[in-house]
Each structure stands twice: as structure tokens, then as C-alpha cells.
Amino acid sequence: MKYTGYFLFLVSCLMPAVWTAKTVSKFITPLDQDRYQSIFNEGLRSNDLQSVYYSSLNAAEVEKPQDSCKRLVTVYGESKYNDVEKNFYLTGAWKNFGCKEPIPAKVTDSVKSLSQKQFSSAQELYFYFHSVKNINHPVDEAQKVRLAKNLQTVLLKDDSLSSLGHAFAVAAEIGTHGAATYDRVEEAFVQADEVDGKMLQFEGGLSITALIVNSAFKLASSLQKPIPINADQAVKFATYFLSRASVQTPKGVSILLEALNTLSSQKTIAPICVMLSGNGQLLPESPVLSVRVSDLLGKPLTPALAVVGASVKSKLSNEVLASKVNLVPSNSNPSIFTYNLKSLNPQRGQYKVDIEAGGYKQTLKVNMLGKVAVSSLEIGVGDSDSTSAVKKHSVEFSKKLGVELAADSQQKIVLRVQLVDEASKKPINVHQAFVLLRNKATQQEIIFVAEADSSKAYKFEMDVGARSADFGYKSGLYSIELIVGDALISNSFKWLVADVNIKFSGEAPKENAAQPRQPLPEIVHQFRVPEKRPPRLVSDLFTALCLAPLALLLLLWIKLRANVANFPISLGALGFHLGLGAILALFGVFWLKLNMFETIRYLIPLALVTFLCGNRLLRAIAARGSEK
């Protein structure tokens, strides 16, 4: 399996770049950046030394650096990290704060005292080496050689992902002396797990994944070696990192931003973000296609793209609306590119947009909204059992019928509306067409669905008598409203069409009109009634049968003339047999009276005494046997 993983990794590395789109659909937004700065500002005030260090590394501005330096010493003294890690965090934060005072002597002395130590983990090597750099202590070639040997020794004992990641970071700093460590880079990356075919990550989550990616790229750059992943893998790693954009800790945010910067800096494989700018809804009066093209951190690409092209075609019919048109850069934001589709007279519907930006490709989806118009609406009341035509009233859109309708339980209310596209005047279907009836006195509402017929006209018909129960038999004046909505129309509406006075026959069920029902009796849990016991004679007979083996044992002992005289008279022998008998008696009492917990409470001391006495008895018997 290991060699299979190596083979698949090599195949993916050799795969041509043209096979991948090299694009993602997310980026670090300005809102994310603001939230990250809030996390770093909070981290600067933290009592956790690690949080202070990572916040100092990324905070936009540190207020009163000298006060921060003094506080840093206090946090260092209270920290529970080991000395090697504490030294790394303090020296790094001291350097990031730009403290004017020298680093406390006890810290620099502690760092220098480790110069000849053989470290047992790659993480400690990482902390030590960077602490030395932070205090500006020179690292000569001999020490680099020693560190490289120490690295190889550590990796022979521990080649976990964490160990490899820290080893790559140290090897990147010691130059050619760490060249042997580069051979382990491929071994690390084949251990990446693929999620849903879209993301790559290492076991251990964000911290381990970012550590491996950041340190492996640094090592490859230091040794001028090929980058360790291809463009497709870079997209999948970037997708994973962007999925963790909601991270809440200073360390998590710091390593996330570092990883995204690392991937963005690799121009040959760097993924970019190509996505719609806005909600993807194009208004009919101004159908401007707006696309954002940026790096993973939301910054404009450098160098800027010469051309961003787009092809637009209908998702339903595949009819091409625009072919390879050039999008225009926005004056206010160089990462936004736009194109106005109005001259192409786009029809209402869903469209696919194929974006080509340099060597990058991405397919986006947009909705071209239209406007709905009411061609005609008729409403009327007629007999429910009559086949004769219902007298209908025409109502002009957005206006209310001038007369009040009346309907009783022998009649039906009929509404028919024809919806058309405002531009083409053709009948259309919509996702939502409802008729709402509201009681003007109680404000009670009931909604019905209007169904489309073969001519795409929407029709609502309500038999008053059959629907009486739905209205609770509450007669009165009701308003009738038409509600129309659709994901592809920009002017969804709610229209008060008419008022109708409805008179229901019959009464509500008595339980609704009568006094409130009395509460039902309380439900009390009842245990099962015990089964009837057998007669006394049966119980006594069963007890006698249980005691019969014991009586038989005593009779056999008497017949065989058991050597009772040879019984050892000692504390151990008496204690063991009395304890054993007491335990058997306790079981009998448990059967008759005690519960399990009471029995255990008495059994523990009896069992302890019986065990000790039995041990002593066995030793005495063994000693007496050896004398013979």
C-alpha cells in the first residue's frame, strides 16, 4: 500500500496543469480580516504566552509596545509551557514588539545553555533554533552540522507528521545541511487524506496541515528543489484552508494566513478565486455580469490579468447568449470585472457562465430575472352544484374590485389569473401562486394554492360549504389576496383583489363552543402486580430438596469416618472455615431479606478475613507437608 501511495503521488505530480481549473470559489473576505484583527488584539491581552506570540506576529498595530514588553515578562513567568517552548514564544514576541530593552538575561542564558544538547524531538529543535535566531546569536557551520545529525536521529525514532513538519522547518533554515530531510517530503504528502474529492488535509487538522505545507515549501525553496505538490493538489489544500476560515484562536488564524500566503506565492500552481461578485441575480433593467478574480486573500492578482473572457449560455436549452466576450475591470476595485448583457436582450432564466482568465477556468451560474405582469384576472361567485357559467368580474392589476362579493354555503368562489412575462408577453409559470383569505374582524388567515391549467392560467376554486370547517364556521367579511413569487422574477407581489362576505352554515363542533374540557385524570405509573405465590407445602418441599445435598454430605462423612481429629487447631483454620460458613449464611440471608447493596457491604469484610485466614492455613499445610 505504501508503494501504491508513492506511485499515485508521482502520477499526480506529473499530471499536466491544463487538467485542472486551478480555481476556488472562496477567499478571505474583508470581514474575515477584521475579525482576525479582533482575535489578534484580544490575544495581545491574553495570559497565554502562545496567544501573545502569534498575535504579536500578525497584529496590525501594537499600542504601547514597552508596556507590552513588561507584561510579556510577567506572562512568561506564569506560563506552564516547558522552558524550550517558553523561550521561543518570549524571544519571538520580544522581537515582534520591537522592545528597546534587551531580552532578560535569564532567557538568553537559558537559550545558549542548550547549544550542546541532543534534543529528543523535532519540535524542541524547532523551538531552540528559532529562539537562537530571535536573540541574534550566531549559528556556525559546525552547529548546523550537529543540528542536521540531531534531526536525522530524531526522525529515525519519530517520523510522525508533526515531527516531519517541524523537521522540514529546521532543515529549511540550515541550508544544504538539511538536504537529507528533503527526501522525507514526498513521504509526508502521500499521507494527506482526500475529503469528498475536493479537499486535502492531514490527520491532525489545521495545525498539522498548515505546518507540513508551510515548512515543506520553505525547505524546497531553500534547497532550490521542485515544489512538492501540483496545481490540482494546491487547489484541494487551498479549499481545505478556506473551509477553516472561521477559526477562532490566534495560532489558528496565524498559521492559516501563512499557509494561504504560501500557496498564493507559488505562481506556477497558485490557485485563484473566481466567483460572482454579488448574489448572482441579474436585474432586467441592468443585467450586469460581475465577476471577482483575486488571490486566496482577496487581493488583486499581480501581475494583473490582461484579459478576462466569458461565454454565457442558457442552462435549460444550451443556447449561447454570448461567446468569449471580454469583461471590463472595475475602476473602484481592480479585482472586479464586469460586462453588461443588456444589448444581448437576455431572456428570463438560468445561465451558465464560463470564465477564462489567463490559464484559469471556472464555470459560474447566474439567474437572469424577469418581470411578471398580470394579463387578466377574473373573480366571481356562483352556485357550487350548477354547471352554468359563473358571473365574473374583471379586476385591473394592483387595483381592488369596487363591489363587495357575497357567498354562502351553497356557492363557490372562483378566481382565474393569467400571468405573462412583461417583456415577451408570453404566459409563464411561477414557483408560488397562492390565494390568501383573511377574516377582517379576527385577522385569521387561510391560504390556498392556485393551480395552473393547460393554458398556463392559474385558477382557484373554493366550495364554501365544503371548506366551512377550515374556517371554523366563522362567517364574516374576508379579504382575498393573490400572492405571486418566483426565484427568477424581480417584482414578486402581494395583491388585494377583492372583499367577500362569506356566510357559513352549520355550527362548530360542540366541544369547540362548549365550556373548556375538564382536565383528564393524572396518569400515575403502576408497577406490575406480583404473581400469586405457590402454596406453603410446595415452598417447604422445595426448601427440603435444596437442603438434601447438605444432609447427604453429612451422612457420607459419618459413614466414611472422616478424620475430624486431624483438623488443625489454629487461628487460620478456624477463621477460614468460620468465614466461609459466614459467607454461605450471608447468601441465605440475602435470599430471604437483604438487598444486593446491603449484602455487598457485609460481604467485603467477611471475604477479606476469609482470604487472609485461608492464605495462612494453606501456608501451614504446605509447611507441615514439607516436614514429612
Residue 269 phi/psi, 5-degree rounding, is: -125, 0
- What pLDDT score was predicted for residue 595? 86
The span from the CA of 205 to the CA of 72, in Å, is: 29
Please give the share of the chain, as a percent, with pLDDT higher than 70: 93
pLDDT in tens, 352-369: 999 998 888 899 999 999
Residue 56 phi/psi, 5-degree rounding, is: -65, -25
Decide: 315 and 365 in contact? Cβ < 8 Å.
yes
Q: Which long-range contacts (CB under 8 A, 24 or more apart) does 329-332 make?
A: 329/304, 330/290
Decide: 470 and 446 in contact? Cβ < 8 Å.
yes
| Closest C-alpha to 313, from 346, 289, 337, 359 | 346
- Would the CATH topology of 272-368 be identical to that of 372-513? yes
- What pLDDT score was predicted for residue 508? 59
Say whether pLDDT at 402 is over 70: yes
The span from the CA of 487 to the CA of 269, in Å, is: 38
Pairing state of beta strands 360-368 and 199-201? unpaired
Q: What is the CATH number of domain 372-513?
A: 2.60.40.10
Q: Is 623 exposed, middle or buried (0-12, 13-18, 19+ CB in 10 A)?
A: exposed
Lowest mean pLDDT among 8-17, 43-52, 426-435, 615-624: 8-17
Pairing state of beta strands 360-368 and 281-282? parallel
Say whether pLDDT at 581 is over 50: yes
Decide: 237 and 273 in contact? Cβ < 8 Å.
no
Decide: 284 and 369 in contact? Cβ < 8 Å.
yes
Q: 10 Å Cβ neighbour count for 586?
A: 17
Letter for the amino acid at 334?
P
Q: Copy the grid coordinates of residue 484.
A: 405571486
- What pLDDT score was predicted for residue 628? 57
Say whether pLDDT at 33 is over 90: yes
Say whether pLDDT at 561 is over 80: no
The span from the CA of 476 to the CA of 474, in Å, is: 7
Decide: 177 and 147 in contact? Cβ < 8 Å.
yes
Pairing state of beta strands 457-463 and 272-276? unpaired
Say whether pLDDT at 313 is over 60: yes
Lowest mean pLDDT among 92-96, 207-211, 515-519, 612-616: 515-519
Eight-class DSSP state of 428: -
Eight-class DSSP state of 385: T
Mean of the pLDDT values across residues 121-126? 92
Decide: 313 and 319 in contact? Cβ < 8 Å.
yes
Decide: 428 and 373 in contact? Cβ < 8 Å.
no
Say whether pLDDT at 4 is over 80: no
pLDDT in tens, 365-391: 999 999 999 999 999 999 887 666 788
pLDDT in tens, 272-283: 999 998 888 999
Q: Using the CB atoms, write b or e for 27-63: b if 16+ within 10 Å.
A: bbeeebeebbbebbbebbeeebbbbbbbbbbbbeebe
Angle of helix 122-134 relative to helix 161-173, nearest 10 degrees, comes to 30
The span from the CA of 613 to the CA of 583, in Å, is: 14
Q: Copy the grid coordinates of residue 160.
A: 510522525
| Closest C-alpha to 301, from 344, 347, 264 | 264
Q: Which CATH architecture has domain 272-368?
A: Sandwich (2.60)
* Residue 586 vs residues 580, 581, 606: alpha-carbon distances, Å: 10, 9, 9
When computed from its CA atoms, the radius of gyration of the chain, rounded to whole angstroms, is: 43
- What pLDDT score was predicted for residue 137? 85
Mean of the pLDDT values across residues 590-594? 84
Query: Is residue 11 very low, low, confident or very high in pLDDT (cuts 50, 70, 90)?
Result: very low
The span from the CA of 534 to the CA of 509, in Å, is: 55
Q: Mean of the per-residue pLDDT values for the chain?
A: 87
Decide: 29 and 260 in contact? Cβ < 8 Å.
no
Say whether pLDDT at 64 is over 80: no
Lowest mean pLDDT among 210-224, 505-519, 562-576, 591-605: 505-519
Q: Which residue has the cell 462423612?
A: 557
Say whether pLDDT at 103 is over 70: yes
Decide: 257 and 244 in contact? Cβ < 8 Å.
no
- Give the distance, in angstroms, between the CA of residue 217 and the centroid of all CA atoms in the same chain: 28
The two most distant CA atoms of the chain are separated, in Å, by: 127
- What pLDDT score was predicted for residue 100? 85
Mean of the pLDDT values across residues 203-228? 93
Decide: 9 and 227 in contact? Cβ < 8 Å.
no
User: SS3 for 354?
Assistant: strand
The ranges assigned to domains in the chain are 1-44+184-270, 48-113, 117-181, 272-368, 372-513, 558-627
- What pLDDT score was predicted for residue 97? 86
- What pLDDT score was predicted for residue 6? 41
Q: Which residue has the cell 477564462?
A: 356
For the CA atoms of 31, 34, 38, 40, the dihedral, rounded to the nearest 10 degrees, stands at: 120
Q: Using the CB atoms, write b or e for 260-269: b if 16+ within 10 Å.
A: bebbbebeeb
Q: List, edge to edge, every strand of the sheet that includes 372-383.
A: 391-394, 372-383, 411-421, 457-463, 451-452
Q: What is the 3-state secondary structure (H, E, C) of 181-233?
A: HHCCHHHHHCCCEEECCCEEECCCCHHHHHHHHHHHHHHHHHCCCCCCCCHHH
Within 13 Å of residue 590, how many CA atoms lie on the same side as its CB?
15
- What pLDDT score was predicted for residue 507? 62
Query: Is residue 566 very low, low, confident or very high in pLDDT (cuts 50, 70, 90)?
Result: low
Q: Higher pLDDT residue, 146 or 13?
A: 146
Say whether pLDDT at 3 is over 60: no
- Give the distance, in angstroms, between the CA of residue 221 and the centroid of all CA atoms in the same chain: 34
- What pLDDT score was predicted for residue 17? 33
Decide: 468 and 481 in contact? Cβ < 8 Å.
no
